[in-house]
Structure 1
Amino acid sequence: MDKARLKPILMVIAIGIILGGLILIMDKSSGVVVDMEGIHANEKSSENHLATGPRGGALFTDHDFNLELTIFEKGVPPQFRVYLYEKGKLLPPTSATVAITLTRLGAPAQLFQFIPEGDYLLGDQIVEEPHSFDIVITAEYNGKILRWSHSQLEGRVEISDDMLKSMGIELLTAGPAIIKPKLRLPGEVIFNEHNIVRVVPRVPGVVTAVHAHYGQHVEKNDVLAVIDSPMLADLRSQYSVAKKRLTLAKTTYEREKQLWEEKISAKQEFLLAEELWHEAQIALELAATKLLALGVQPESNFLRTNITQYEIRSPISGIIIAKFLALGEVLKEDREIFTVADVSTVWTAVTVYPKDLNVIRVGQKVAVKATAYDVESEGAVIYISTLIGGQTRTATARVELDNSDGKWRPGMFVNAELVAEEIAVPVAVSVDAIQTFRDWSVVFGRYGHYFEVRPLELGRSDGEMVEVFDGLSQGEQYAGGNSFALKAELGKAGATHDH
């Protein structure tokens, strides 16, 4: 192989050896001289005071030779482009061999190599965001190896441990998580049908008083209305007569027993008196049972002057949701006059679309939130309809909610949220840690005393944790709670995006 073809290959090998050493030691001192087979290399640190080249990039200079570095990102992913000049005149991209070593917080070093493209050299990798990094540029030109170092900061802020504590910033670690995406369905609060009672008089009569009205809350055994009932008067009379007959039969029995024991009367008279006494007991029990069946205590009303008065009482504690009587109205014994609903528990009728029927199941926990104001409870699915509505083409699921504090009112519209599935992901971060920076969703990664934005490619979320496809690795620390304080500090520091 002739010397003309061998020389460029040797130069590339030499640059690779130098860059390998730089990756290991990252020596940023200026004026370093490296001698290798007669090749001379000078390193210069830019200290961020760089001239701007004709194409708006950073201009690195060594005597008459200039290297302009740009990050081009119009219509393409960010890429390094290098333009070469001598005495201000643009050189062909093949005039020099260039390589860049890039290091950033929390990541291994990257080696960029360049190939000619038009009138510039094009880097072989994407320059990932944020563009906050340290670079070392190595160029081989006219038998010399030139070296420059440069730092560019973006989205980085320094926070001491004491300041971190005072700001209340919580440090979290990216890692595996179980993502539980939630299914949200509309619904409406309805009465618990198992706790609705329809009140009937049980005896016919005329309404003489109404004490309860629509929407009123009543306690168990509260008087709802009063009627005058001839039938009740007859039953009370039967009880009163049976009680008196029992007293008379008992007296006769005790007298005949005494006479029989004294050998004064025959045993037959005693046995007859005993039989009549037992029959009177049965008659009294029958009369009492008829009154008890109507909810009337026989003894409590025995001395009442108005034996026709019948008090209709509430069988449960609850709210009057229907009323169908008025003063002076004649009622039949099977007429519904009140409907009382116990609202200590309520149901939520949740609309379930056919595509979601395989997700919801009986016993599943559901978070129910009111749409009108801030009310939230957790319940469980107790029923799923087996039929889909002909017009709505939806099914209905019932969720039972505790309503002992009365915050749920039938008719309220709600949203029901339930866990659709459980997904194990390798890397996830807290949703509360996500902030916006430029047009990215970011977290602030923690690296020593520095926090720096990390743009994330996000996946599925359950409102608490969110899957991370790219931008943060497992085991990296990031700011969780109060991360917005870092964004504020970044604003004070005047973050830039200089390319």
Structure 2
Amino acid sequence: MMEATKNKKTPVAIAIVLALGVVLGIAILRTDKAKPAGDEHGHAQSAAPADDEHHGRKGSEGHAHEAGHEDKEHHATAAQAAPQTGPHGGKLFTQEGFGLELTIFETDVEPEFRLYLYRDGKPLAPHQATVTVTLQRLGREAETFRFKPEKDYLKGVGVVAEPHSFEVAIQARSAGKDYAFGFEQVEGRVQLSETQLKQNGIEIATAGPARIASSLQLLGEVRLNQDRTVLVTPRLAGLVESVAANAGDRVRRGQVLAVLSSQALADQRGELLAAQKRLALARTSHEREKKLFEDKISAEQDYLQARQAFQEAEIAAESARQKLAALGAAATPSTQGLTRLEIRSPIDGVVIEKKISVGEALKEDAPIFQVADLSSVWVELAVPARDLGQLAIGASALVKASAFEAQAQGRLSYVGALIGEQNRSAVARVVLPNPKGLWRPGLPVQVTLKGDEAQVPVAVAVDAVQTLRAWSVVFGRYGQQFEARPVELGRSDGRFVEVIKGLNAGEAYAARNSFLIKADIGKAGAEHDH
């Protein structure tokens, strides 16, 4: 009985196993039909002639011949997988024996394309192929470069402007066949979503025209007003008897600074006294001869001789008096003698320097005092050559002290005509009123020179400008991409700055907190890739 039951169960088990096998087979067949033939990533592969795209980029190897092409042209495409590095350090592309190496050369020249050709791994003469390279940058029209043979390479006609961040399409023709290669390189670029922009407080603005009251920020130093500074010299050799002023003393014009004993002064005064005596005698003789001539007692000749002697005596006396005046000495000697020479201040001011002591023997040209009128001072500036066009005589200048809280208004009075060989700058000068003596010579200051307002075609916020590598850059926005745009800047009023070159009107850019984008690019390790 048990054996009979066992025999009945055996066919049932076999039937179940067979049914399961059929179900699994159907499932497998359906799965194979659903999956197209292709690579492991699920990209369909077809023998039909097409641009073998991989993730939207052209394929580097493999080609297809279309039977419909009567001229039997060779249509090749190149992959955008990372190209190999060639013998000259450039990007190397090869296909069916033809090779092409693209480099950007910028040693002692503006960046330029240089292209080397190969056939079966061996160098190929540059005239054996014609090549064009097309660059597509974010937010820009395509740039096409043509090439001309030079030495052992093809040289691109034109400058490859920074940044070197673009999609590159290369079209080449050699030995009757056409080749196409392509790649993309990214430099100074980062992607940020709207959420990230809001979280970081990055504001977006549009570059466009603006009215800018130009201003120039410069460093300067307070100097003595050389138009109001005098070096005092004795003008006669002598011995110092007394000194009445010291450095730092405020003095008035005509105030005695020192007293010298000078033998040369005694000689000059003696000459004046003698001339005055001769003049008095000549005057008496002239008056007497004149009266005798009028009374017809004396001859006219005697009168004329007396008049000539009198005139000569007048001239001699006046000459002696003028010599003493030129020396700053009184014509009338004091009761203390003919040798006393009083050194007086020629202007109102402050004694800046004193180089005299009692008992010292001085030469006539020795500088003994420096007196400066500090009611006004100069602020000297070093202006870079590129900024000279913004300066105008009479421009308003705001001067701020670096050492303490103080500011004052002045006027630009002078711009030097020469450029320094070392610093490539010209000297400019601001005249600054100093009634309270606050602005002391030697004090470092910051100066803002303001010019006239001007309408500029393209301007951006000052906060938008950052420094990346050796460039001044603005981060342009293109979709969710931000890319550094090297810019040439012009006038600025502290809020906006003129963009002369590098950014077009209507382009969006990061106006506020742009330094965060610079930080993200730094973290990403932005390269200068050739």
TM norm structure 2: 0.49
Seen in structure 2, the aligned counterparts of structure 1 residues 357 and 59 have a Cα distance that, compared at 3 Å, is closer
Seen in structure 2, the aligned counterparts of structure 1 residues 59 and 357 have a Cα distance that, compared at 3 Å, is closer
Seen in structure 2, the aligned counterparts of structure 1 residues 138 and 357 have a Cα distance that, compared at 3 Å, is closer
Q: Which amino acid aligns with 1:126?
A: V
Seen in structure 2, the aligned counterparts of structure 1 residues 155 and 32 have a Cα distance that, compared at 3 Å, is farther
Q: Which of 461, 472, 476 is the equivalent residue of 2:492?
A: 461
Kindly indicate whether residue 83 of structure 2 is the aligned counterpart of residue 50 of structure 1. Answer: yes
Contact 1:186/1:350 (<8 A) preserved: no
Sequence identity, in percent?
Answer: 47
Provide the rounded CA distance (Å) in 2 between the counterparts of 1:155 and 1:66: 30
**SS of residue in 2 equivalent to 1:130:** coil
Tell me the equivalent position of 1:81: 114
Seen in structure 2, the aligned counterparts of structure 1 residues 162 and 183 have a Cα distance that, compared at 3 Å, is closer
Seen in structure 2, the aligned counterparts of structure 1 residues 32 and 457 have a Cα distance that, compared at 3 Å, is farther
Matches within 5 A, 1:148-297: 148-177=181-210, 178-182=212-216
> Any idea what the Cα deviations from partners look like across 1:471-492, whole Å, max 9, x if unmatched?
1111212212211111110111
Seen in structure 2, the aligned counterparts of structure 1 residues 441 and 417 have a Cα distance that, compared at 3 Å, is closer
Offset of residue 357 of structure 1 = 8.8
Kindly indicate whether residue 140 of structure 2 is the aligned counterpart of residue 136 of structure 1. Answer: no
Tell me the equivalent position of 1:225: none
Provide the rounded CA distance (Å) in 2 between the counterparts of 1:467 and 1:119: 43
Provide the rounded CA distance (Å) in 1 between the counterparts of 2:485 and 2:412: 45
Offset of residue 100 of structure 1 = 1.2
Kindly indicate whether residue 383 of structure 2 is the aligned counterpart of residue 371 of structure 1. Answer: no
> Any idea what the Cα deviations from partners look like across 1:1-46, whole Å, max 9, x if unmatched?
xxxxxxxxxxxxxxxxxxxxx9xxxx84437868584322111222
Q: Which runs of no fewer than 5 residues in structure 2 stay unpaired?
A: 1-50, 224-374, 381-387, 414-427
Seen in structure 2, the aligned counterparts of structure 1 residues 154 and 394 have a Cα distance that, compared at 3 Å, is closer
Offset of residue 159 of structure 1 = 0.7
Q: Which of 457, 460, 477 is the equivalent residue of 1:426?
A: 457
Contact 1:100/1:111 (<8 A) preserved: yes
Provide the rounded CA distance (Å) in 1 between the counterparts of 2:86 and 2:141: 29
Contact 2:412/2:429 (<8 A) preserved: no
Provide the rounded CA distance (Å) in 1 between the counterparts of 2:447 and 2:134: 53
> Any idea what the Cα deviations from partners look like across 1:351-399, whole Å, max 9, x if unmatched?
489x989425xxx7x75533323x467x878x999xxxxxxx9895659
Provide the rounded CA distance (Å) in 2 between the counterparts of 1:111 and 1:478: 26
Tell me the equivalent position of 2:258: none
Tell me the equivalent position of 1:359: 394
Offset of residue 430 of structure 1 = 2.5
Tell me the equivalent position of 1:440: 471
Offset of residue 466 of structure 1 = 2.7
Q: Which of 501, 518, 522 is the equivalent residue of 1:487?
A: 518
TM norm structure 1: 0.52
Seen in structure 2, the aligned counterparts of structure 1 residues 350 and 52 have a Cα distance that, compared at 3 Å, is same
Q: Which amino acid aligns with 2:92?
A: L
Contact 2:202/2:511 (<8 A) preserved: yes
Provide the rounded CA distance (Å) in 2 between the counterparts of 1:415 and 1:83: 54
Contact 1:187/1:415 (<8 A) preserved: no
Contact 2:91/2:101 (<8 A) preserved: yes
Q: Which of 81, 101, 105 is the equivalent residue of 2:138?
A: 105
**SS of residue in 1 equivalent to 2:109:** coil
Tell me the equivalent position of 2:72: 38
Seen in structure 2, the aligned counterparts of structure 1 residues 186 and 97 have a Cα distance that, compared at 3 Å, is closer
Offset of residue 179 of structure 1 = 4.1
Tell me the equivalent position of 2:157: 124
Provide the rounded CA distance (Å) in 2 between the counterparts of 1:396 and 1:77: 43
Provide the rounded CA distance (Å) in 2 between the counterparts of 1:395 and 1:117: 55
Q: Which amino acid aligns with 1:74?
A: T
> Any idea what the Cα deviations from partners look like across 1:150-183, whole Å, max 9, x if unmatched?
1011111111111011111122222223241248
Seen in structure 2, the aligned counterparts of structure 1 residues 416 and 88 have a Cα distance that, compared at 3 Å, is closer
> Any idea what the Cα deviations from partners look like across 1:293-314, whole Å, max 9, x if unmatched?
xxxxxxxxxxxxxxxxxxxxxx
Tell me the equivalent position of 1:327: none
Seen in structure 2, the aligned counterparts of structure 1 residues 124 and 419 have a Cα distance that, compared at 3 Å, is same
> Any idea what the Cα deviations from partners look like across 1:319-368, whole Å, max 9, x if unmatched?
xxxxxxxxxxxxxxxxxxxxxxxxxxxxx967489x989425xxx7x755
Offset of residue 131 of structure 1 = 0.5
Q: Which of 78, 81, 91 is the equivalent residue of 2:124?
A: 91
Q: Which moved more, 1:410-419 or 1:469-478?
A: 410-419
Provide the rounded CA distance (Å) in 2 between the counterparts of 1:384 and 1:457: 26
Contact 1:183/1:420 (<8 A) preserved: no
